[in-house]
Every structure is written in C-alpha cells, then in structure tokens.
Amino acid sequence: MHYRRIVCFLLGVWLGGGILMAWYGARSFGTVEAIMNQSNPAFVVQTKDLGPAVTRMVLRHAVMEQNRWLFRNWEIMQIGLAVLFFCYLLFGTMEGKFSLAVMLSMLVLTLLQRVLISPELGNTGRTMEYISSELAAQERARFWVLHNAYLALEALKFGLGLILGVIVMSRKRSGDPMNQFNMIDKANHRHVNW
C-alpha cells in the first residue's frame, strides 16, 4: 500500500475525530435545555419535587461528567494514535525531519492537553456550580481561560495536521521505502561468476 494513503487515513481519523468531539462538546449542553423544554409529562412528575433550577443543575452536572469522560478518553486515543503515527513516519517512510517535527509537535500538544489542561479544567468545572457566587465568578473566569487554552491547542493541532498532510501530498518523489528497493532478480543478474 502506498504510504501516502496510510498517512492520509491516519490524519483523517485524527482530524475527523477532533471535529466530531468539538461538535459534540458544543452541542451537548443544548441537550439540557431541550430536555427541560420538552414537557415530557413523566419527566415533569418525577422532577417536580426538585424544581426546575435543581433539575437543570443535575442535568448539567451529568452532561459535564459525560463530556469529561469522552474528552479524557479521546485524549488517550489521540496519544496512542500520535505515537503510532510518529513511529510509522519514522520507521515506515522516508519522510524528512520537518514532517517528523510536525508530528512530534502534535504529540507534545496532546500530552500538554492531557497532563496540564484537562485535569485543571475538569476540577474547575466540577466546583464551579457548587460554590458561592463570589467565588463562582473567579472560577468561571479560570474555567474560560483553561477552556480557551484547550481550544487553542486543538486548533493548533488541527493546523499542524493540515500542514503535515500538505507536506506529504506535495512530495515529488516517493517517500515510500518500498519504492526505493532495486530488484536483484533481473535478467543480467541470473548467475554469479566465481
């Protein structure tokens, strides 16, 4: 198989997964309002004792926990995919140092997200809904700084992925090591003279 197809497949999985997660993250909190406004009679009866404000808070908390779980697992999948992708570029192709550096940068950015930003973002999001209003404003500001940093790293990874795709697809000569071998079994190499 031509190595460019494999690179495009791996990039497509990574970038497509990132777009899917961004779409889900942006849409997920709209589900809470949709449930609250749906007027399902059984739901209204079951949550009547809680009241709409507490019900909304419980539903938002459930959505936040689900988002944390999904994004944590997506980050772990990205790290695995990045290691696989980097090893493939290093050992399975003849890509240059720049391509390897771009791929390594994507891996480092994912590790930064997983180790530094996500845990803090999760902790801030968990405490934000259950603290006093004075502290909530500070936590909300901290949450949005962390959230925007996370989104900036995602956008940077997406851009680096596009750059890597352009580099690989614009090569004039093949970086596929399988195309670099010369066949020994040719007509003029049939026998050995001692």
| Ramachandran region, residue 192 (left: φ > 0; alpha: ψ -120 to 50; beta: rest) | beta
- What residue spans define the domains of the chain? 3-173
Task: Write out pLDDT tens, residues 140-167.
Answer: 889 899 999 999 999 999 999 999 999 9
Of 133-137, 165-169, 170-174, the one with minimum mean pLDDT is: 170-174
Task: Write out pLDDT tens, residues 8-36.
Answer: 899 999 999 999 999 998 888 888 888 88
- Residue 191: band (very low, low, confident or very high) from pLDDT cuts 50, 70, 90: low
